Amino acid sequence: MQRISVTERPNLANIAAEHELEHIADQGITGWNESAYYQFTRRQIEEDLTGPVEEIENLCFEVVDRAVNNQEVLSRLGIAEPFWDYIAESWRNGEKNLYGRMDLSYHGEGPVKLLEYNADTPTALYETSVLQWEWLEQATELELIPRGCDQLNDVHESIVNVFPKLDIRTMSHFACNHNIEDDKGTLDYLEECAREAGLKTCSIAMKDIGLDDEGRFIDFDGQVINTLVKLYPWEWIMAEDFGPHIPSSGTQFIEPPWKAILSNKGLLPLLWGMFEGHPNLLPAFFEDDPAAAAFANAGSYVRKPMLSRQGENIKIVHEGKIIFQSDGPYGSDAHILQGFHPLPVLDCGYPLIGCWLVASKAVGLCIREDKTLVTGRDSRCIPHVILD
Amino acid sequence: MKSWSSRSAALMMSVSLIALTACEEPKVDASIYESIGQCKSDPHNTADQCEGSFKEASSQHAAVAPKYSSAEDCQADFGQGKCEKAPYKTSSGGSVFMPLMMGYMMGSMMGGRGSMMSQPLYRSAQSPNSFRTAENQNVGSKTGGTKVARSAASRPSFKNSTRSRGGFGSSARRFGSAAT
């Protein structure tokens, strides 16, 4: 794995406009950096990344399989009792999942380590599947990068192929908070993929979803929502006013309810508990577990809220000293402790490898660089190539 | 994984360019008024036409207006003080709320009377300047003669189920982006 500096394409402002992305003079496209790229060997991709990621996905399924039959585990994850049967049923019925992104620490050699699994509301999807791919094509054409560069990027085709297999009966409604441009942009892209796959779709703001007299969710025109593709976390909708109506609503949710188990950082101690010592896992414990205290005493760990987003409320302790701490709105929630496996530093950037799974197959890579050890809102996507 | 060169460049380029826009619908002539008085002051109408269409629209109002099981939900959609009790009860005996009728729409006199039934119009809290049909279709802010989408001119449906809205979305207001 190398970080290689490269000339940017000359017309970034136009490219940004074409993709409806923000472009700031001297800074480039917001959230995107093509002044360098990461280069991997095919062996690194297949043996170190996609292989282990699909293996971890299977371990995750074993965790779900155990969790749905174990009330103690479900309550430890903070999932309210009215949803236990609902989640268990969605798993037993084999409700299909669309996508997710595993965030990994990788140093170019040695086993990759799972830092967390964004299994419910992953973003940076458009940057991965469209922007990064277009960069590869154009950078090759402009001879900015060597001939013959490949990319792990079947994200778009995979999503288009999987939509018709999700058992969607009629129209699907795509919902998120429309005030957040990034969320809306990602969801619009997913909606385009669904349309390309021949599905009927329409978009709705989460706040505009209604409930009718028979407990069904309806859209603004009073039409019943049969399938809801949401970019809105399970833990939020379960806790909101309409949450209690979800299990009896008859609405199909994508991602399916059982993803609530995987999108929770409580997944990490559950994985470690079942597969302790697995080369791709870091030790992890629920904070209220007595083992966590002993683990913390050893002096190096990362403390994360079970439910947090974009690097908020993370604390890193190394050799007894706090070396990183971020604010956020999740500080009062339950936490986990995880082993500290720092991201590598390449040219002052800390690259976090995001591996995209579509229908549980590892089909894309998205590298985000931040100036700190914890990848947050200011991180930027940076393209990658495969070249032997 | 497959070789990048085997992949269709056109496919990826096209993705961002597909706009998610609805198809344009043919438009029909209609007239929109806030009150009988406004209708009568329009030289195109006779007083009889104005009174007849107002009566027709207001007699439909209670049946076709969207229904809510709480006044708050109704006001969230239509604005403070813009809702009233509907002459219905929920299955559990609770009150039902609906927006106030804020105007009415009648078919064009030019196109011949009877081409369109009159129907009540509403104004949402989000865009109080525009009129909406009971089917929540925006028919613009212009009063007098205007053009509306053909589907907006069709007869509104009877709304028997009560609605509540806004039961989702509160976490986003607190936490912001859902992205991980």
- Tally of domains in chain B: 1
Residue A258: Cβ within 10 Å count: 25
**CB spacing of A207 vs B169 below 8 angstroms:** yes
Of the candidates B9, B17, B170, which has its C-beta nearest A137's C-beta? B9
Which B-chain residues 8-27 have CB contacts (< 8 A) with chain A?
A: 9, 11-13, 15-18, 20
What is chain A's mean pLDDT, rounded? Answer: 94
Task: Give me the domain span that covers residue B40.
Answer: 24-65+101-152
Model confidence band, residue B108 (pLDDT cutoffs 50, 70, 90)? low
* Encoded amino acid at A257, one letter: P
**Share of residues in chain A with pLDDT > 70 (%):** 100
**CB spacing of B178 vs A177 below 8 angstroms:** yes
Model confidence band, residue B152 (pLDDT cutoffs 50, 70, 90)? confident
pLDDT: is A278 or B179 the higher one?
Answer: A278
Contact in structure between A325 and A275 (CB atoms under 8 Å): no
Q: Is B61 part of a structural domain of the chain?
A: yes
- Per-residue pLDDT at A329: 82
Q: Is B14 part of a structural domain of the chain?
A: no
Q: How far is B43 from chain A (nearest CA, A)?
A: 35
pLDDT in tens, A97-151: 999 999 999 999 999 999 999 999 998 999 999 999 999 999 999 999 999 999 9
State which residue of chain B sits closest to A190, comparing Cα positions: B15
pLDDT in tens, A309-332: 888 899 999 999 999 998 888 877
Which strand (E) or helix (H) includes residue A182?
helix A181-196
- For residue B7, pLDDT beyond 80: no
Q: How far apart are CA A45 and CA B35, in angstroms?
A: 70
Q: Which residues pair with B164 in a beta bridge?
A: A211
State which residue of chain A sits closest to B133, comparing Cα positions: A221
State which residue of chain A sits closest to B22, comparing Cα positions: A202
Q: Is B49 part of a structural domain of the chain?
A: yes
State which residue of chain A sits closest to B173, comparing Cα positions: A177
Model confidence band, residue B19 (pLDDT cutoffs 50, 70, 90)? very low
Residue B47: Cβ within 10 Å count: 10
* Contacting residues of B for A212, CB less than 8 Å apart: 161-163
Which of B74, B77, B138, B177 would best serve as a mutation to test chain A binding (most A beta carbons within 10 A)?
A: B177
Q: Among A187-201, A280-294, B142-156, which is the least confidently predicted range?
A: B142-156
- Per-residue pLDDT at A82: 95
Model confidence band, residue B159 (pLDDT cutoffs 50, 70, 90)? confident
Model confidence band, residue B13 (pLDDT cutoffs 50, 70, 90)? very low
**CB spacing of B167 vs A133 below 8 angstroms:** no
Q: Is B55 part of a structural domain of the chain?
A: yes
Q: How far is B47 from chain A (nearest CA, A)?
A: 34
* Contacting residues of B for A19, CB less than 8 Å apart: 16
Q: Among A51-55, A365-369, A370-374, which is the least confidently predicted range?
A: A370-374
Model confidence band, residue B155 (pLDDT cutoffs 50, 70, 90)? confident
Six token digits for residue B60: 């439909």
- Per-residue pLDDT at A275: 98
Model confidence band, residue B110 (pLDDT cutoffs 50, 70, 90)? very low
- Per-residue pLDDT at A220: 79
**CB spacing of A211 vs B176 below 8 angstroms:** no
Strands (E), A25-136: 28-29, 36-40, 99-105, 113-118
The full set of domain ranges for chain A reads: 2-264+345-386, 283-338
Place of tokens 């009790």: B85
- For residue A179, pLDDT beyond 80: yes
pLDDT in tens, A221-274: 778 999 999 999 999 999 999 999 999 999 999 999 999 999 999 999 999 999
- For residue B23, pLDDT beyond 80: no
